[in-house]
Amino acid sequence: MQLVGTSNDSPSFEVQRLREHVFTRLRPYLSAKNLEGAMRCAARLYTELPDKHALERNTVLVAFGGGKDSSYMLTFVRAIQLILFRVYGGTFRLRVATNRHAGMPRAVMENIHRVYQALGLPEDPLCELLLVDGHEARTFHVDMPVPESLVRRNREDILMTGHRTLADARPTFCNACNLSMVNSFGLAAAHEGGVDLIVTGDSRREQRAYLLWVNRLAQQFELGSASTGRTGFKGFLGTMDNISRAYFQDIHGGHAPEALEERRIEARVREELKFFSIYDDTAYSAGDHWELLTDYLGFEFDEVAFSFTESDCGNPALMAHLRGLKCERLYGRSYEEGIAEYVRFALSLMRQKQFPPQLVETMVARYGDSASVARMRERMDTFARESFGLTPAHLVCMVYSPFADGGSNLQGYLERELPHLAARAPALHALLRDGTPPVPGTEAADLQLELETASGLSLAQLRTLYARPLHPPAAAGERQGLIGAILDRDPHKDTVETRHAPGGPVVKETLSGR
């Protein structure tokens, strides 16, 4: 007699043995509370699956960033998949998608590989492992190089946004990355027949709050028309696509259709697609499952990949580096003082997010003295060059934001960093205002080369910046754009006390980051 939830196409003996082996090894690492939660969650998820007579026809999507929390979440969902198999003799298809960006060091890919191996995912025919690079979804492989097109895209987003914000950390590194993450959800959910459920660790309250914020943002900037008549996740993706197009048109200019098209958000998912939250059935605190992470999954906290509040991205360390550069070059103070400001801010974020004390202490020690700070500075120069193709000169230029807002900061940048060009500021302004290509062999062509070398941007991109305002707006009461509207509701910022000149008065400044 066939059980409900099984099919005539039973798994092979090898697959059955694999699943039993993984569950037997995994079970001791799950606390009694979390195991009970997994069993309760498995029962809830079963009721949400549309095909209960052939469970393998149901596909469940999990986003896996490769960090400590998402590693635990994937493990929890794998436990649910195995529990259903033990109960019904069949289980759902698990699709795991990793959205990659150039700021993910090699160590992240290696952590992902070890997690997959520990959970027996590569050998299980009901597990599909995807790596999303921009708009391309491929089967995950630890040695798969980052496409140059993705590196270029990430570099341009960082530079174009950083030049609008005096290299403010969150918009510079996270705005485009967050929109890319949303796209990866849509892309993975639409891939090869689509999925039935998306598993999330967010509570229903958090989901509603985020959806409300997105809808208000769309209404504020009149961006909701494309999703009219659509509901659920499909409608959400349509609204996010509108926001993404408006945001990147502001960043890259309306004359860059290719840049806008490659940053679109995929919205071709099933109308009935739903989210399934595991929030109420498990706890995320890494301290509660430290042995699971480090012993069973083989998770390693690499020096660059583990960076302040992130364990799957080197960009937060680059954010600290930029703060050091800002204090050194823009404020005339020391690099070390800028690092100290960022470290205090980021350690506070770590404690708010209840990071295990040993990880907080690791970060304290990493920037604990002058030699350590100097070593991290060298590492970040290397990381920026190897990951994004950014030179120290590019980063310094971005800190000044000399081209945006009609070149309002250009004179100060030239006098401090390119003094041989300071007297030629009028010609530079004329070049940036002009809309025609410089004639080869002329002064304008020479100046173009100088600016492109210093900034890492093309003349067309520099002219786009010249025509765009800085954030925050220079004039009091001036309406802020999407950059400011997005940052307004971002919790990853705080007010810090700093000095804008050596021995100058203490002033309050908003610092953002991760």
pLDDT tens track for 348-375: 999 999 999 999 999 999 999 999 999 9
* pTM of the complete model: 0.94
pLDDT at 502 over 50: yes
CA distances from 66 to 96, 134, 200, 307, 459 (A): 11, 17, 15, 13, 37
Q: What is the pLDDT of residue 320?
A: 98
* Minimum mean pLDDT range among 9-13, 174-178, 319-323, 360-364: 9-13
pLDDT tens track for 393-423: 999 999 999 999 999 999 999 999 999 999 9
DSSP string, 213-276: HHHHHHHHTT--GGGTT--HHHHHHHHHHHHHHHHHHHHH-TT-HHHHHTT-------TT-EEE
- What's the pLDDT band for 477 if we cut at 50, 70, 90? low
Kindly give the pairing relationship between strand 93-99 and strand 274-277: unpaired
The structure tokens 């504020």 sit at: 220
* Minimum mean pLDDT range among 2-16, 29-43, 143-157: 2-16
Decide which of 499 and 256 is more confident.
Answer: 499
The structure tokens 């290719």 sit at: 258
Q: What is the pLDDT of residue 230?
A: 56
Q: What is the pLDDT of residue 472?
A: 79
pLDDT tens track for 108-153: 999 999 999 999 999 999 999 999 999 999 999 999 999 999 999 9
Residue 58 carries which side chain, given as an amino acid letter? N
Percentage of the chain beyond pLDDT 70 is 95
Averaged pLDDT score across all residues of the chain: 93
pLDDT at 478 over 70: no
Q: What is the pLDDT of residue 227?
A: 45
208: exposed, middle or buried (Cβ count in 10 Å: 0-12, 13-18, 19+) = exposed
Q: What is the pLDDT of residue 8?
A: 45
Q: Which residues contact 73 (CB under 8 A, 6 or more apart)?
A: 62, 64, 199, 201, 278, 284
Q: What is the pLDDT of residue 11?
A: 85
pLDDT tens track for 235-250: 999 999 999 999 999 9
CA distance 98 to 339: 31
290: exposed, middle or buried (Cβ count in 10 Å: 0-12, 13-18, 19+) = middle
Q: What is the pLDDT of residue 29?
A: 95
- What's the pLDDT band for 1 if we cut at 50, 70, 90? very low
- What's the pLDDT band for 480 if we cut at 50, 70, 90? confident
Q: What is the pLDDT of residue 6?
A: 44
Q: What is the pLDDT of residue 254?
A: 82
Q: What is the pLDDT of residue 229?
A: 47
60: exposed, middle or buried (Cβ count in 10 Å: 0-12, 13-18, 19+) = buried
Q: What is the pLDDT of residue 7?
A: 47
CA distance 265 to 174: 16
pLDDT at 314 over 50: yes
Decide which of 445 and 207 is more confident.
Answer: 445
